[in-house]
Amino acid sequence: MPRERYYLAGLLLALFVVAFASRLGDTTGWEFVEPLTMLAVCVVLTWIFPEPFRGLGWDARALKWMAIAVAALCVIWTLGFWIWNSHSTQIQWGWRLVLHFLFLAVISPWFEEKVLRHLLLGSILKVARPFVSIIFVSVLFALAHKGMFSWALIASLVLCLMRVKLDAKTIHCVVVHGLVNSYVFALYVTT
pLDDT at position 87 is 59
Q: Is the pLDDT of residue 1 over 60?
A: no
- The overall longest dimension of the chain from CA atoms, in Å, is 53
pLDDT at position 45 is 97
End-to-end CA distance of the chain: 52
Q: Is the pLDDT of residue 79 over 80?
A: yes
Mean pLDDT of the chain: 91
Q: Is the pLDDT of residue 146 over 90?
A: no
pLDDT at position 86 is 64
Kindly report the backbone phi and psi dihedral angles of residue 172, in degrees, each rounded to the nearest multiple of 5, phi listed first.
-60, -45
pLDDT at position 92 is 66
pLDDT at position 98 is 86
